[in-house]
């Protein structure tokens, strides 16, 4: 069991490390996503850099790798504790991908994929909250922070398993930490909105 659980954790980290945003934009031509817009490898920056289609593919890929990692854990009958560990490993893979020198994205979509499998009702509500906030204010980061802030509460109200409460708390902490610069820009009123085109030079310092 320990060997199986260890393998699941390694697979989850490896899946999380796959940089779908970078791969998708490379297929669009000579575009290094890390030097465009915010420099992030997630779907929001792909949207800024190359458009809606590639952004949608990136979003599906990033959600999918979290969902597949958690799905494997559930499929092999892993305990809630191991499932939570697998979820954290997948998100850490996205944040610190071995394929990109441990410099990755924000982890929002991968977190959603994990939660949709580990706590389906919570995941659906988080997605709806993200969509509502994003539609109302047009800030991807604000929508992500709102969803992340709601995650521990929803996990407590709708699931209640200690391992899932820990999963929610850890993922929320990681998302807020990765969005610390976005929080500063939101407070200063300089945060870029969804779909806003940003020049390559604007990646510096963002």
CA dihedral sign of residues 114, 116, 118, 119: positive
CA 111, CA 8: separation in Å to the nearest integer?
17
Q: Which tokens sit at 71?
A: 């799905």
With contact defined as beta carbons under 8 Å apart, do 64 and 74 qualify? no
Q: Please report where in the chains the tokens 């893979």 appear, as a residue.
A: 93
What do you get for the CA distance between the two ends of the chain, in Å?
43
Residues making up the chain, counted from first to last: 206
Confidence tier at 61 by pLDDT (50, 70, 90): very high
Over range 157-185, report the average pLDDT.
97
Give the model's confidence band at 93: pLDDT under 50 very low, under 70 low, under 90 confident, else very high: very high
> Which of the two residues, 121 and 27, has the higher pLDDT score?
121
State how far Cα 108 lies from the chain centre. 3
Residue 198 is predicted with a pLDDT of 56
**By the 8 A CB rule, do 55 and 46 touch?**
yes
CB 53 within 8 A of CB 120: no
> Tokens at residue 68, please?
């597949």
Please give the share of the chain, as a percent, with pLDDT higher than 90.
81
Q: Cα angle at 37 between 33 and 42, to 5 degrees?
A: 55
Average pLDDT over residues 135-141: 95
Measured CA distances, 42 to 38, 48, 124 (Å): 10, 10, 20
Q: How far apart are CA 64 and CA 61, in angstroms?
A: 5
Name the pLDDT band for 35 (thresholds 50, 70, 90): confident
Quote the mean pLDDT of the chain.
Answer: 92
Does 194 score more than 90 pLDDT?
no
Say if CB 24 and CB 61 are below 8 A apart: yes
- Predicted model pTM: 0.93
Rounded percentage of the chain residues whose pLDDT exceeds 70: 95
Tens of pLDDT, residue by residue over 141-153, are: 999 999 999 999 9
């Amino acid at each position: 069991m320990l060997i199986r659980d260890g393998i699941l954790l390694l697979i989850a980290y490896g899946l999380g490390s796959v940089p779908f945003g970078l791969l998708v934009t490379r297929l669009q031509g000579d575009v290094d996503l890390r030097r465009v817009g915010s420099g992030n490898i997630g779907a929001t920056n792909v949207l800024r850099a190359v458009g809606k289609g590639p952004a949608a593919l990136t979003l599906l890929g990033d959600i999918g790798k979290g969902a597949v990692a958690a799905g494997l854990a559930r499929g092999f009958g892993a305990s809630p504790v191991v499932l939570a560990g697998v979820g954290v490993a997948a998100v850490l893979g996205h944040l610190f991908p071995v394929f990109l020198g441990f410099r990755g994205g924000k982890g929002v979509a991968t977190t959603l994929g994990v939660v949709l499998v580990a706590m389906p009702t919570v995941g659906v509500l988080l997605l709806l909250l993200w969509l509502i906030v994003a539609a109302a204010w047009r800030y991807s980061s604000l929508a992500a922070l709102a969803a992340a802030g709601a995650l521990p509460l929803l996990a407590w109200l709708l699931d209640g398993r200690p391992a899932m409460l820990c999963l929610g708390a850890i993922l929320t902490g990681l998302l807020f930490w990765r969005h610390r610069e976005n929080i500063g820009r939101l407070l200063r009123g300089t945060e870029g909105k969804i779909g806003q085109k940003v020049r390559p030079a604007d990646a510096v310092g963002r």
